[in-house]
Chains A and B, each alone.
Chain A
Amino acid sequence: MAYRQYMLVCGGTGCESGKSDEIYKRLIAEADAQGVKDAVQIVKTGCFGFCEKGPIVKVLPEESFYVEVKPDDAKEIIAEQAVKGREVKRLLYDKSTRKSNNKIDDIEFYQKQFRIVLRNCGVINPENIEEYIARDGYAALEKALFQMKGEDVIAELKTAGLRGRGGAGFPTWLKWDLTRKAPGDVKYIICNADEGDPGAYMDRSTIEGDPHSVLEAMALAGYAIGSNKGYVYIRAEYPLAIDRLKIAIAQAKEYGLLGDDILGSGFSFDVEIRLGAGAFVCGEETALMRSLEGNRGMPVPKPPFPAISGLWKKPTVINNVETLANIPVIITKGGAWFAKIGTEKSTGTKVFALTGKVNNSGLVEVPMGTTLREIIFDIGGGIRGGKKFKGVQTGGPSGGIIVEKDLDAPISYESLAALGSMMGSGGMIVMDEDDCVVDVSKFYMEFCVDESCGKCAPCRIGTNQMHDILDRITKGKGEEADLARLERIGKAMTKASLCMLGGSAANPTLSTIRHFREEYLAHIRDKKCLTGKCKDLVTYSIDPSKCIGCTLCAKKCPVPCIAGERKQAHVIDASRCVKCGECYAVCKFGAVVKN
Chain B
Amino acid sequence: MAKMTLEQLRKLREEKKRDIERRETEGKEIRIIVGMGTCGIAAGARVAFDAILAAVERHGIGASVVLAQTGCMGLCHVEPTVEVLVPGMPDTIYGKVDAATATKIVDRHVVARALVNEHIYDRPAADIIRN
Contacts and interface: CB of A to CB of B under 8 A. Distances in A.
Interface stretch (A160-168, A253-261, A440-448, A555-563): A253-261
B68 to A, nearest CB: 5
Given A6-B115, A43-B115, A122 B35 contact: yes
B60 interface: no
Contacts of A379: 124
A131 B75 contact: no
Contacts of B95: 46
A361 B124 CA distance: 13
A134 B20 contact: yes
Nearest to A130: B16
A119 B41 CA distance: 21
Nearest to A110: B126
B104 to A, nearest CB: 13
Question: Which of the listed residues A46, A130, A136, A241 has the most CB atoms from chain B within 10 Å of its own CB?
Answer: A46
A2 B113 contact: yes
Contact of A122 (B9, B74, B96): B74
A131 B69 CA distance: 12
Interface string B7-43: 0011011001101100000000000000101110100
Contacts of B70: 121-126, 209
Interface in A254-296: 254-257, 259, 263-265
Nearest to B122: A48
A41 interface: yes
Contact of A360 (B2, B77, B88, B116): B77
B100 interface: no
Nearest to B76: A362
Contacts of B122: 45, 48-49, 58, 111
A115 B72 CA distance: 13
A291 B63 CA distance: 51
Interface in A1-55: 1-3, 6, 8, 11, 41, 43-49
Given A118-B74, A122-B35, A125-B69, A49 B124 contact: yes
A466 to B, nearest CB: 32
Given A209-B72, A263-B5, A362-B77, A108 B90 contact: no
A106 B128 CA distance: 10
A210 B70 CA distance: 9
A364 B74 contact: yes
A336 interface: no
Given A257-B4, A361-B76, A111 B9 contact: no
A115 B12 CA distance: 25
Interface in A182-225: 201, 204-205, 208-210
A259 B4 CA distance: 12
Contacts of A131: 16
B4 A256 contact: yes
Contact of B129 (A48, A58, A119, A126): A119
A454 to B, nearest CB: 31
Contacts of A361: 76-77
B58 interface: no
Main secondary structure of the interface of B (DSSP, over half): loop
A257 B131 CA distance: 26
Given A108-B126, A139-B13, A329-B128, A365 B90 contact: no
Contacts of A360: 75, 77-78
A255 B74 contact: no
A67 interface: no
B120 interface: yes
A135 interface: yes
Most chain B Cβ neighbours within 10 Å, of A109, A123, A126: A123
A114 interface: yes
Contact of B121 (A48, A210, A363): A48
A255 B6 CA distance: 11
**Most B-side CB within 10 Å, residue of A107, A205, A364:** A205
B59 interface: no
Nearest to B20: A134
A146 B10 CA distance: 13
A466 B39 CA distance: 34
Residue among A131, A136, A256 with max Cβ neighbours from chain B (10 Å): A256
A122 B71 contact: yes
Contacts of A362: 74-77, 124
Contacts of A256: 2-5
Task: Among A41, A133, A364, find the residue whose CB has the most chain B CB atoms closer than 10 A.
Answer: A133
B3 A119 contact: no
Given A1-B113, A46-B95, A115-B125, A122 B120 contact: no
A2 B88 contact: yes
A520 to B, nearest CB: 32
B114 to A, nearest CB: 6
A255 B3 contact: yes
Given A122-B71, A240-B38, A363-B76, A43 B6 contact: no
A11 B118 contact: yes
Given A46-B118, A133-B9, A255-B3, A122 B72 contact: yes
Interface in A128-158: 130-131, 133-139, 142, 146
A251 B68 CA distance: 18
Given A8-B120, A44-B118, A120-B71, 6 more contacts: A1-B113, A6-B115, A46-B95, A115-B128, A134-B16, A204-B38
Interface of B: 1-6, 9-10, 12-13, 16-17, 19-20, 35, 37-39, 41, 68-78, 81, 83, 88-90, 95-96, 112-131
Interface of A: 1-3, 6, 8, 11, 41, 43-49, 58, 60-61, 106-109, 111, 113-116, 118-127, 130-131, 133-139, 142, 146, 201, 204-205, 208-210, 238, 240-241, 254-257, 259, 263-265, 329, 355, 359-365, 379
9 shortest A-B CB distances, which residue pairs?
A209-B71, A256-B3, A122-B73, A134-B16, A363-B74, A45-B120, A113-B125, A60-B90, A109-B126
28 contacts: A2-B88, A2-B89, A2-B113, A2-B114, A3-B114, A6-B89, A45-B122, A46-B78, A46-B118, A49-B124, A113-B74, A115-B125, A121-B73, A122-B71, A122-B83, A125-B69, A133-B9, A134-B13, A136-B129, A138-B9, A142-B6, A205-B39, A208-B71, A240-B37, A241-B38, A359-B77, A361-B76, A362-B77
